[in-house]
Amino acid sequence: MIIKVKVYPSSGKEEIVKINEKEYKVYLKKPPEDNKANIELIKILKKYFLKNIRIIKGLRSRNKIIEVMD
């Protein structure tokens, strides 16, 4: 399954907001430096979906394309 995620790093909270089946907003505590926000994003989405997660597009952007693998 492919989803679109808009990431809000350094927001002071960890939260996933579902907009629809294919779009999510994710608020992260970590800053967007040294890949910390991407690592936290993968961890929080792994807990949410209980599946493996891979960032397909947008490693350096707030708008990301994520693959949720079976």
Q: What is the mean pLDDT of each run of 10 residues along the chain (70 residues)?
A: 97 96 97 95 97 96 95
Long-range contacts of 22-30 (CB under 8 A, 24+ apart): none
Q: Where are the alpha helices (DSSP H) in 1-70?
A: 36-49
Q: Is the pTM of this model over 0.85?
A: yes
Instruction: Say how many domains are in the chain.
Output: 1
pLDDT of res. 70: 81
* pLDDT given at position 56: 97
User: Taking the C-alpha atoms of 24, 69, 48 and 62 in order, what is their torsion angle to the nearest 10 degrees?
Assistant: -40
Domain span at residue 14 reads 2-69
pLDDT at 25: 98
CATH of the domain at 61: 3.30.1200.10
- Amino acid 49: pLDDT: 96
